Amino acid sequence: MTDPLDLLPDGVVVADATGRVTAVNAAAARMLDADPAGAVGRPLDEVLALTDHDARGWTAHNTPYDGLSTRTGVPEQSWLLPDGTEVLVAARLHRADRTGPVEAVAVSLRSGRGRARLDRDRSDLVATLAHELRSPLTGVKGFVQALLNRWDKLTDEQKQLMLTTANADADRLSRLITELLDVARIDTGRLQLHRRPTDLGKKADRVLQSLSVITSTPIELEIDADLPMVDADPDKVMQVLTNVAENAVRHGSGTVRMHVGAASDDPSYLAVTVTDEGTGIPPELRQRIFTKFWTAGTGGGSGLGLYIVRGLVRAHGGAIAVDDRPGGGARIVTTWPVSVTEPAAAEMTS
């Protein structure tokens, strides 16, 4: 019969009140290069052959059977296996009475590869942030410095151009910081939604009007008749639709089309479909585009837009899908839950 401890993904070593090992699961045996049967009955410090960078042993360093009588465990620490591999080690100290002697020590060993990968991801994140923040900040600093040093020598037109450019760079910084805050809220589950009945068609029309001012790319909008309201945060809806449409303008070509209508597979949802006439998104990249700082081509951008889009849509209980547009190009569909409450008069015009 299989030992239940062998079913655990992490290594486990258990010792009794005398410091003798009573159990070693298969994962721990592999990590420690030990024979499970031969390890039983041996001293814990012999079986748990772990050292730190100063060559200290885990048992000698943490003294699980000594110390404060109220101690109940050893927090997770980084240790090295005999082959030099990093593992994360924690322990639970079992006492029959709250301040009685330790009757058993249960030690868990977990691979440190996950933490190493997380550290690398954090380093990549810091490097990316530094690059994204430095570019507009350098622009602002340069133009302000030029204005301070050469104010009397510059024409009004030159001053206007410099201030306009610095203002645009400051806006870019502000948008990036807002995106980073949204990412943090999504990652930590602290995203707040102020949901109410919202006219999805009107929000899409506002997005079209705002984008038409800043791009020469043709944008067409089609809204089906007699659509119900959706239960959503109006500001987040605008944010999602703007990001998706801007992405289509940035990476696509030809005409960008938006369609608002009932979801094809569920009448309790409305769908906003955005298509472009570009080269499309290869199937192997269709999940990667929703990761942080994903960028492709020469379109620029922070690479956070679609990550935030997916987080906001999912927070509303909707979904987002990417596939090919018939005839070429990409198609992104977001779905929004239909509101079951009657909208107030103010929302009807929002």
14 pLDDT above the threshold of 60: yes
What pLDDT is attached to residue 343?
54
Asked if residues 48 and 59 have their Cβ atoms less than 8 Å apart, the reply is yes
What pLDDT is attached to residue 1?
60
Phi/psi zone of residue 101: left (φ > 0), alpha (ψ -120 to 50 degrees), beta? beta
What pLDDT is attached to residue 127?
73
Contacts (Cβ under 8 Å, ≥6 apart) of 347? 196, 197, 198, 199, 229
Average pLDDT value for residue range 297-321: 81
Contacts (Cβ under 8 Å, ≥6 apart) of 177? none
Cα–Cα separations (whole angstroms), residue 310 to 12, 88, 195, 256, 290: 38, 33, 17, 20, 7
298 pLDDT above the threshold of 50: no
| Full set of structural domains in the chain with CATH | 7-111 (3.30.450.20), 115-188 (1.10.287.130), 196-348 (3.30.565.10)
Scanning the structure block, which residue is given the tokens 């350098």?
138
* pLDDT interval class at 349 (50, 70, 90): very low
Asked if residues 210 and 258 have their Cβ atoms less than 8 Å apart, the reply is no
162 pLDDT above the threshold of 70: yes
317 pLDDT above the threshold of 90: yes
What pLDDT is attached to residue 283?
83
Average pLDDT value for residue range 73-100: 90
What pLDDT is attached to residue 136?
85
Contacts (Cβ under 8 Å, ≥6 apart) of 257? 219, 220, 221, 222, 273, 274, 275, 276
Asked if residues 4 and 14 have their Cβ atoms less than 8 Å apart, the reply is no
- The Cα–Cα gap between 21 and 3 comes to 16
* pLDDT interval class at 345 (50, 70, 90): very low
Cα–Cα separations (whole angstroms), residue 51 to 8, 90, 148: 24, 14, 59
More confident call, 20 vs 264: 20
Asked if residues 338 and 229 have their Cβ atoms less than 8 Å apart, the reply is yes
pLDDT in tens, 170-225: 888 887 888 888 888 888 888 889 999 999 999 999 999 988 888 889 999 999 99
247 pLDDT above the threshold of 70: yes
Q: Which two tokens stand for residue 217?
A: 């790319």
